[in-house]
Amino acid sequence: MTTIREATSADVGAMLSLMRELAEFESLTHLFVATEDGLRDALFGARPAAEALVAEKAGKLVGYALFFHNYSTFVGRRGLYLEDLYVQPDQRGTGLGTALLRRVAALAVERQCGRFEWTVLDWNQRAIDFYEKMGASIMPDWRVVRVADDALEQLATGAKASNG
């Protein structure tokens, strides 16, 4: 039997392992530099940056959802943004992803959020099919823009961007 519950500080090590698995699945391990202390602080520190639910089976974490609030000026209300939804490969197809997604959606409704949003990689057709089946819309025309590392420093200071 699988339980979905709020994450606690004792889950942080196992959650970080699952996050690394997700980065591997998304071929993004080069971006993975998170630490246990950082995650603990983000979820359970004095000024939490995110919240998480975990899926536990036979005393072992097999999935998680991590989310935080965003805000839409057009809707004029907070929303919920799902940063990660992960279920271990051998647990897929058992309804765990659905259950996690529903639980976060229920929080969004309970907190009167205008929207529940996340992003998906365009090659992850299995995920796209799953989200559409759950009633979500894949927005065709928005692109994510990112500035990080040296480019962020340069943008902040007004130094010439390396590709500018």
- Residues 113-152, interacting with a copy of itself (CB under 8 A): 113-123, 128, 131-148, 151-152
Residues 23-42 contacting a copy of itself, CB under 8 A = 23, 28, 31-35, 38-39, 42
> Which is closer to a copy of itself, CB of 94 or CB of 117?
117
CA dihedral over 16, 66, 40, 8, signed as positive or negative: negative
Q: How far is the CB of 98 from a copy of itself (least distance, A)?
A: 9
Nearer to a copy of itself, 46 or 156 (CB): 156
The alpha-carbon radius of gyration of the chain (Å, integer) is 17
Residue 151 in contact with residue 160, Cβ under 8 Å?
Answer: no
Name residues contacting a copy of itself, limited to 69-88 (CB under 8 A).
Answer: 69-78, 81, 83-84
Q: Give yes or no: 71 in active site.
A: no
Euclidean distance between CA atoms 26 and 83, whole angstroms? 13
Alpha-carbon distance 54 to 60, whole Å? 10
- Is residue 8 a contact residue for a copy of itself (CB under 8 A)? no
Q: In angstroms, rounded to a whole number, what is the distance separating the alpha carbons of residues 152 and 158?
A: 10
Nearer to a copy of itself, 14 or 120 (CB): 120
- List, in order, residues 6 or more apart from 72 with CB less than 8 Å away: 79, 114, 115
- Total number of residues binding a copy of itself (CB under 8 A)? 77
Residues acting as catalytic residues: 131
